Amino acid sequence: MLLVLSNTAGTGGSGLLIPIGLALFKFDTKNSITLSNFSIFLSSAMRYLLNGKKPHPKKNGTGIMVDLNIGIIMMPMLISGVSFGAILNIVTP
């Protein structure tokens, strides 16, 4: 329920899921972050599948609710950031 509320608000829920995983379920940091990222991915994928074909309410039925242009702009930056973080994780102890 907590993930649904935070995902609906657009925060993703990792600010809540990571401390809950650490404190209540006694996960280590790596597993808590991994579980949080996976649950955010699943909830985002479900929101995309449910809202993918719905018409945008302010475009009088001509546009879709999901703006794919933002994804096209964000994906190269996201992939380069993930690659840089993975390399930095290997290089630093």
User: Could you tell me where the DSSP H helices lie in 1-93?
Assistant: 2-9, 14-23, 29-51, 68-91
Whether pLDDT at 21 is above 80: yes
CB 18 within 8 A of CB 33: yes
**What pLDDT is attached to residue 2?**
57
Percentage of residues in the chain having pLDDT higher than 70: 85
3-state secondary structure of 1: coil
Residue 73: which domain range?
Answer: 2-91
| pTM strictly above 0.75 | no
Q: How many domains does the chain have?
A: 1
